Amino acid sequence: MAPAQSQKSTANRLSGADAGADGSAPSAGSSPLPQASENRRLTQAERTDRSDAAMLACAIDLVVERGPALTTLKDVGEGAGFSRGLAGQRFGSKDGLFEFMVRSIGEAWLIELTRATEGLIGQQAIDRALDEHLRFCVQAPDQFLAFYRLWFEAIGEDSAVRRVVSNIHERRRRDIARWIAAGKQAGEIAQSVSSAAVAGQFTASVIGIVYYWLQHPEDTDEVTALHNNLKSTIRKLLSVSDVPEKSHE
């Protein structure tokens, strides 16, 4: 994953802008949004992509700077360079805006994680996933800060954001379980290990690490140690035979 993307280039990619010719994410400073040629006007879909990207970038800034409670649709529309009513028209409510943000950032993270772990299984895949997660935490890009602030804000609410967060959490758990199951099939992991149990331990631990990071973003040494400790914990769990089985595995 590119180490230091600008917020706008990241937002452009999150909103569906094209990647580079080699399939990589656009570099910082590039302009991947649809561009009108001298001979044609932008289509409605292209105009929507442009405005979504701009509003996403602005919303990320506001959530990081002010927090979700003080982020308004009016400020998102105006801050992105559009009318005060566009964000309300596009997203309907703050909950709709936050759902769009969490879904967009989550989908972009999934794409990057899939690239980083391609061809890997078992402990190698888990280690690489943690390395990528640590990279984001240490660099603290604003989109990642906004993503997890909205994630924790959704706890206890019956909202669209909470449902998206739940789906992302479940997808993360399934990915870990799939990597472990593949490792068992390849003979790298003991057959007695429960893929579901270890995956559950992993996902719960990552959320704990994130909570610490949000409280102590400057403590990169401890955040790094927590990621490395989780690698060691998972390695031990994958090498023992007393991990309890789950009936739904």
**Residue 96, both tokens:** 């709709």
Token pair belonging to 232: 């060691």
Q: What is the pTM of this model?
A: 0.75
pLDDT given at position 18: 37
Handedness of CA 130, 135, 139, 142 (dihedral sign): negative
| H/E segment holding residue 227 | helix 220-239
What is the rounded end-to-end Cα distance, in angstroms, of the chain? 32
Of 210, 101, 179, the closest CA to residue 147 belongs to 101
CA–CA dist 136, 3 (Å, integer):
8
pLDDT of res. 124: 97
For residue 187, the tally of other CB atoms under 10 A from its CB is 9
Rounded to 5°, the CA angle 67-220-136 comes to 60
User: Which of 99, 103, 92, 124 is CA-nearest to residue 234?
Assistant: 124
Residue range 101-249 in CATH 3.40.50.150: no
Residue type, 63: V
pLDDT by 10s per residue, the chain, length 249: 333 333 344 444 444 433 333 333 333 333 344 454 555 787 878 888 889 999 999 999 999 999 999 999 999 999 999 998 999 999 999 999 999 999 999 998 889 899 999 999 999 999 999 999 998 888 767 888 999 999 998 887 778 899 999 999 999 999 999 999 999 999 999 999 999 999 999 999 999 999 999 999 889 999 999 999 999 999 999 985 444 444 444
C-alpha–C-alpha distance, residues 231 and 124, integer Å = 10
Work out the number of other CB atoms within 10 angstroms of the CB of residue 56: 26
Residues of the chain with CATH 1.10.357.10: 101-249
Q: What is the pLDDT of residue 217?
A: 86
Alpha-carbon torsion (164, 167, 173, 175), positive or negative: negative
